[in-house]
Amino acid sequence: MNLLLADDEPLMLNILKSYFSKEGFTTFLAQDGEEALDLFYNNKVDLAILDWMMPKLTGVEVCQLIKKQSQTKVLLLTAKGEQEDEFFALQSGADDYVRKPFDPRILLLRTKKLLKMASKVTIGDLMIDLEGQKVYRHGEDVFATNKEFQLMKYFIENKGLIVTRKMLLDHVWGFDYFGEERTVDTHIRRLREKIGEHYIKTHRGMGYCLENSDE
């Protein structure tokens, strides 16, 4: 997911970038309204988090321009505390409104709610939609089969842990499966071809492990 963060306070931007990057977001940073719009026009942005009071163009103005030509979600940040201000912000097209000061963890949760990410997991350039049962790479559907998706789901549930072929057979194929264990290798090879070779590591004599080398 791509996030546009716009605030004229560099420290605030760096703090937010740190929180969101750890959650797998790609972040674009701007310190004024014009820079925010330029980044929006030149990049795919899923959500724009805009400070209301910015130089050149306010967050509300940027929000209105974004909403005129896209369905991109917008969340406004502001130190303004009056109900009338909140009403004005939402009326301008903003999807949500957070008052300063705030806990970055709360902002992260509000962001995930706006993007309906409760059922979505991001690992590197992959996004796994657990509800839709799809796997995306660079935003493109890799067309994982049902078995490939179930393998990916089990790896996510056990990320960082080595899982054996038998564990995969039991949980993906079912406890009543009596076929060849090597079928696991075949399906993992096909999954790797779709998501990239580096995510699922082979540990000889032990099993497989889902890892993200970027972490």
CATH of the domain at 37: 3.40.50.2300
Same domain? For 65 and 128 the reply is no
Peptide bond into 101 cis (omega under 30): yes
Per-residue confidence (pLDDT) for residue 113, from 0 to 100: 81
Residue range 141-160: mean pLDDT, rounded: 91
- Residue 81: per-residue pLDDT: 61
List strands edge to edge, sheet with 47-51.
26-30, 2-6, 47-51, 73-78, 96-99
**Do 89 and 143 share a structural domain?**
no
Percentage of the chain beyond pLDDT 70 is 93
Angle made by CA atoms 45, 135, 109, in degrees to the nearest 5: 50
Does residue 106 sit in the same domain as residue 152?
A: no
What per-residue confidence (pLDDT) applies to 168?
92
On whether the CB atoms of residues 38 and 81 are closer than 8 A, the answer is no
Structural domain includes residue 15 = yes
Which tokens go with 99?
A: 């008052």
Q: Kindly state whether residue 61 falls inside one of the protein's structural domains.
A: yes
Position 79 scores a pLDDT of 75
Domain assignment of residue 73, yes or no: yes
Distance CA 73, CA 102 (A): 20
| HSE toward the beta carbon, residue 115, CA cutoff 13 A | 26
Q: What's the pLDDT score for residue 126? A: 93
**Average pLDDT, integer, range 1-8:** 90
For residue 181, what pLDDT is reported? 77
Tell me, yes or no, whether 206 lies in a domain: yes
Same-domain status, 10 and 63: yes
Q: What are phi and psi of 46, to 5 degrees?
A: -90, -30
Residue 31 located in a structural domain: yes
Domain residue limits at 125 = 120-210
13 and 53 assigned to the same domain: yes
Q: Are residues 14 and 109 in the same domain?
A: yes
Question: Are residues 125 and 83 part of one domain?
Answer: no
- For residue 39, what pLDDT is reported? 93
Q: What is the pLDDT of residues 161-214, one digit of tens each?
A: 899 998 899 888 886 777 777 899 999 999 999 999 999 999 999 999 998 755
CATH of the domain at 189: 1.10.10.10
- Tell me the DSSP string of 95-152: SEEEESS--HHHHHHHHHHHTT-TTEEEETTEEEETTTTEEEETTEE----HHHHHHH
Instruction: Tell which of 114, 148, 170 closes a domain.
Output: 114
Residues 124 and 48 in one domain: no
Average pLDDT over the chain, rounded to whole? 87
193 touches 148 (CB < 8 A): no
**Residue among 115, 152, 105, 94 at smallest CA distance from 1:** 115
| Same-domain check for residues 57 and 128 | no
**One domain, residues 125 and 88:** no
Identify whether 215 is part of a domain. no
Is pLDDT above 90 for 30?
Answer: yes
Exposure letters 159-179 (e unless 16+ CB within 10 A, then b): eeeebebebbbebbbeeeeee
The last residue of one of the domains, among 114, 147, 166, is 114
Q: Which of 38-47, 60-69, 87-96, 130-139 has the lowest mean pLDDT?
A: 87-96
Mean pLDDT for the stretch of residues 44-73: 90
What mean pLDDT is predicted for residues 20-27?
83
Of 6-15, 50-59, 173-182, which gets the smallest average pLDDT? 173-182
* Domain tally, the chain: 2
pLDDT band at 82 (very low <50, low <70, confident <90, very high): low
One domain, residues 43 and 124: no
Whether residue 110 is found in the same domain as residue 174: no
Does residue 142 have a pLDDT over 90? yes
